[in-house]
Chains A and B, each alone.
Chain A
Amino acid sequence: MKSNTPKELVVVSGKGGTGKTSITASLASFFPKKVLVDGDVDAADLHLLFNLKNTKTEDYYGGSIAEIIQDKCTQCGICESLCRFDAIIFEENRYVVQEMSCEGCKVCVDHCPEKAFLWKPDLNGIWMESETLHGSLIHARLTPGSENSGKLVTHVKEIGKKRAIEQNTPLVIVDGPPGIGCPAIAALTGASGLLMVTEPTPSGLHDLIRILDLAAHFKLKSCVLLNKADINPKYEALIQAEIKKFDASFIGTLPYSKIFTEAQLKGQSIVEAYPDSKESIYLKEIAKRVTSFLGL
């Protein structure tokens, strides 16, 4: 009965710049039927590696923000004292909401004795749907500096899942954001499995441990890919040890390679730009292992 629920693979990295997006795009070509989602909504780069035909663009309102109706305000100051984000200030003899600081919690709106508030939908960005040679891509653009990045991640993931069910495809691949905060948590919530891309550096290892810890916190299963492995070969053992500690699996390595950038400059994935390269051959093998990791 659950057979038509698609699996969701979320590619994360903790640290940025490990090659996550290039690898996501390349792996995508080995799975014939899937929906792609770019969950890195404040630095969405996946679409740069595909030839796109944009089919849909919609505004995204993740929440609302408050505004004071000056005519109704009696300047009692309740809102200022209740707002925990210091978003309400007294300036030029009146109370005003600083939009940049307002988190949209609605406390002021609900507790103003004069009902002197407007509750305005907050435009946080856009989300898009595009057709690529590899199937549908759901992506987004958070307005730089905007709130609600986590909610936008959840939104594109939900659309992705819906499309997968409609198209009867067994897999959704999500390119996740870096870090372990709000957007990362939104990206990995509900995942069938996580693919973590790391690199053999102190930062790579440190950040991998934090994302492994986060995955364990949410009881998600993870596998790890070590990119640029030959930059410092002694890290492979260190990384393997951490993987064991967290009961995750090791899925392979890729060498430090200039073709990541070369392919990017061509606007293609590595596998498309250099199908016969050793990197592409490794990636094909990694895709196979991902298939069995997800139980597809």
Chain B
Amino acid sequence: MKIAIASGKGGTGKTTFALALFLANSDRSVFLDCDVEEPNAHLFLKGIEKQKDVVQLLIPKVNADLCNQCGLCVKSCQFNALAMAGKAGVLVFNELCHSCGACTLICPTGAIQDVETPVGEISIYDLKGGAEFLSGRLKVGHSAAPAVIQAVKKHPSTTPYTHHIIDSPPGTSCSFVTSVSGADFVILVTEPTPFGLHDLKLAVEGVENLKLPYAVVVNRVREKDHLIKKYCAEKNIKILLELEEDRRVAEMYSKGGTLLEVLPDLKEKLNLLLSDLEDQVGANP
């Protein structure tokens, strides 16, 4: 079973919750940090890195000696990743390249070559007690976050595990889609503020477009009747869990600690939560 933890808005406690869910069930799951622009799980899990793989993409390189400056490649690029710079010839902006291959295919002189270029890396960590987790990391200056996310999700070391807990990036753009696609269930973490509600609605629209089953976890709850509850009731969305606002949690987080250290009783709840999801997913595959 693959469970993606997402949130429209950043900073709602998505990673904190994902880590707690994983730690409560680490005997049967692997954790995938797919928030590759800002991966944070390793700061809290403190595992031992045992393997590091490079994620590469084919990015074009122009051989100035063969280029006749016809400009066809620049025209063919839909992502503005190429520019004609007068005498300097064709410039490639790596950070904009989607690695589609259009320019290489179109070049009449064979001046463009696709070169394997590192755009990110995947670290595999061992944890105390035998669990593992994977962390994807986009290289600074590149925009190929979806490619790195794909590589984490398809990494061979995830295969032995029946349960994947996928920490997804915030927002609802391509990185979010890549991360949650193929999940059996999506948990959206939010907080009872106007920003939290607004961004939750966007995330709901995103998972509904992808036709994925989902439910909500509300973090930093301060009063019983809050705006997320109202919205979820209207839309008939299930709230799996509510976590109260607690300065101790904020302080523990700031020291690199995890939720279960402050709220040990949560472990059993999260155990049940995963089993419930299992039944639910198993019931409607």
Contact = CB atoms under 8 A, between A and B. Distances in A.
Contacts of A144: 172, 202-203, 205-206, 209
A180 B140 contact: yes
B2 interface: no
Interface in B83-102: 95-96, 98-102
Contacts of A177: 171
B213 interface: no
A177 B174 CA distance: 14
B202 A206 contact: no
Contacts of A236: none
- Most central of B106, B175, B194, B250 by chain A CB within 10 Å: B194
A78 B235 CA distance: 45
Contacts of A15: 10-11, 38, 40
B78 A17 contact: no
A190 interface: no
B10 A110 contact: no
A207 interface: yes
Interface stretch (B63-71, B156-164, B251-259): B251-259
A144 B175 CA distance: 11
A82 B102 CA distance: 9
Given A42-B171, A43-B202, A147-B174, A261 B193 contact: yes
B173 to A, nearest CB: 4
B195 A48 contact: yes
Interface residue tally of chain A, by bracket?
Answer: 35 or more
B76 interface: yes
Contact of B169 (A147, A179, A213, A214): A179
B145 A182 contact: yes
A270 to B, nearest CB: 14
A147 B12 CA distance: 24
Interface in B102-153: 102, 105-106, 138, 140-145
Interface in B168-193: 169-177, 181, 193
Interface residues of B, number: 59
B280 to A, nearest CB: 23
A107 B105 contact: yes
Contacts of A207: 38, 40
Given A16-B170, A43-B202, A210 B38 contact: yes
Nearest to A41: B173
B195 A45 contact: yes
Nearest to B251: A231
A185 B143 contact: yes
28 contacts: A16-B9, A42-B173, A43-B172, A43-B202, A45-B9, A45-B198, A84-B99, A100-B177, A106-B76, A142-B173, A144-B205, A144-B209, A149-B171, A177-B171, A179-B37, A180-B37, A181-B37, A181-B138, A181-B143, A185-B95, A202-B40, A203-B38, A203-B40, A207-B38, A210-B140, A231-B250, A235-B254, A265-B194
Interface of B: 8-12, 15, 36-38, 40, 43-44, 58, 76, 78-79, 95-96, 98-102, 105-106, 138, 140-145, 169-177, 181, 193-195, 198-199, 202-203, 205-206, 209-210, 250-251, 253-256
> Shortest 9 CB-CB distances between A and B: which pairs?
A17-B11, A16-B10, A105-B100, A144-B206, A179-B37, A149-B173, A232-B254, A144-B172, A182-B143
Interface of A: 13-18, 21, 41-43, 45, 48, 63-64, 82, 84-85, 100, 103-107, 110-111, 142-147, 149-150, 177-185, 199-203, 206-207, 210, 213-214, 217-218, 231-232, 235, 256, 261, 264-265, 267
